[in-house]
Amino acid sequence: MSTEPLPADDAAHNYAPPTPAAPPSRSEPTLGTLVNSLVRGTPDSVLALCVIVGLVGAGVLVLAVSLWSRAIPPLILLSAFGAWGMVDRVGSNASGAGRIGVALARATIILVSFAAVGAMILTFLGVAIGTWIS
């Protein structure tokens, strides 16, 4: 095998384009990754306190003070955060039928959270559009 350079004519025909670089890895966390990292670093007592404060606060606002009804969805989100952390801790040890229960609990928490966020968005739009129309 010779190590002589190819003539200019052959070098032009044998040219291979450079291989593209691998796409950059996504360093941005997803919402699920962010919530899981926050939950895993939170002590159990704080998670339980989030659930209790969220549920009791929302219950008091529903029963007692109708003017503060806009604070109910954030309280529900607070309790959902605590419940997600508790289910995450239980789910790491679950097996068999327990995994089904954990999956159902997570699905319920997600649905409740979406409903609370939807209520917050609608409340914001109602206030914003109401002031624009008036």
**Whole-number pLDDT of residue 65:** 75
Q: What six digits make up the tokens of 116?
A: 């609370």
Higher pLDDT, 114 or 5: 114
For the residues 28-46, what does the mean pLDDT come to?
A: 85
**What does DSSP assign to residue 93?**
T
How many beta carbons lie within 10 A of that of residue 70, not counting itself? 14
- The candidate with the shortest Cα–Cα distance to 71, out of 126, 111, 123, is 123
Alpha helices in the chain (DSSP H): 8-13, 31-40, 44-63, 72-91, 97-133
The CA-atom distances, in angstroms, between 67 and each of 4, 62, 63, 72 are 87, 10, 11, 11
Instruction: Look up tokens 């605590």; give the residue.
Output: 82
**Whole-number pLDDT of residue 27:** 74
For the residues 9-16, what does the mean pLDDT come to?
A: 57
Spatial separation of the C-alpha atoms in residues 54 and 59, rounded to whole Å: 8
**Whole-number pLDDT of residue 120:** 94
